[in-house]
Amino acid sequence: MTAGGGPRRAVVTGASRGLGAVIARVLADDGYELLLTARGAGPLEAVAAELRGRGATVTAVAGDVADPGLRARVGETVRQAGPLHVLVNNASELGPSPLPPLAQYPLPELDRVYRVNVFAPLAWVQELLEPLASANGLVVNVSSDAAVVGYPGWGGYGSSKAALDLLSKTLANELAPRGVSVVSVDPGDLRTAMHQAAFPGEDISDRPLPSVTVPFWQWLLHQEHGAVSGGRFRAQADRWEVVR
């Protein structure tokens, strides 16, 4: 739940497909004005058009979340609009496919994984901190079960998400005096393009579609932000409670 009156606004990265598009739909159905970003301009605009057809106010800005120029453009647009109630850092980089073991991981590729999965979410918080603080806003960082398990081959991606989890918890503590709340969310195994890239040539049709997480997002958006801040949630859990 958010503070104050007026329109509620949200930014979602990686919103052109999969989980990001699902989160954008939930926010739109809940009445949020949206600014969506993703690398693919065509798929991003298709999602934006769909949501506008459902009555939502949507701005789509294509670009790479690791690009400071994109963050500056989005930041200026958000500041002109007013308070920002929700920031969803969903955009992620899987890394090479097939997934290499850490002992053979190409370090330039690992650098890219960390720039997208760790540095970019922090940079988006830094860019949008003032509008988030003015709304007692909520930052949602999308994590993974790979952050806590140590699956062979998933060390690059998983370690980046483990770093994101700690970053989220630390930000929750540091930003509490500003009224900004931060959570991390493990969406669970999903049938997405990224998950398929992790298993090239394999059938992943047994995984659920990203829409399976809709009840979680509906629940999270209606919690008091301060009550959930610092938590790490599993979207496909039987019940949701704060795990700090």
Domain boundary assignment for the chain: 9-187+214-234
Q: Over 60: is that where the pLDDT of 88 sits?
A: yes
Query: Of the candidates 71, 181, 57, 175, which has an alpha carbon nearest to the alpha carbon of residue 116?
Result: 71
The rounded distance, in Å, linking the Cα atoms of 87 and 71 is 13
The model's pTM is 0.94
- Token readout for 16 is 């052109």
Read off the pLDDT of each residue in 69-82 and give the average, rounded to a whole number: 97
32 part of the active site: no
230 or 1, which is more confident: 230
Strand partners, 62: 38
Residue 243 confidence (pLDDT): 60
Tens of pLDDT, residue by residue over 206-235, are 877 899 999 999 999 999 999 999 999 999
- The residue annotated as part of the active site, out of 32, 105, 114, 157, is 157
Percent residues over pLDDT 70 in the chain: 92
Residue 146 confidence (pLDDT): 92
Tens of pLDDT, residue by residue over 102-139, are 999 999 999 999 999 999 999 999 999 999 999 999 99
Q: Is the dihedral of CA 160, 165, 169, 171 positive or negative?
A: positive
The rounded distance, in Å, linking the Cα atoms of 159 and 163 is 6
The rounded distance, in Å, linking the Cα atoms of 176 and 124 is 17
Place of tokens 């991003």: 44
Which architecture, in CATH terms, is 9-187+214-234? 3-Layer(aba) Sandwich (3.40)
Residue 241 confidence (pLDDT): 78
Give Cα separations from 84 to 59, 81, 122, 125, 128 (angstroms): 14, 8, 16, 11, 8
The rounded distance, in Å, linking the Cα atoms of 230 and 227 is 9
Residue 205 confidence (pLDDT): 80
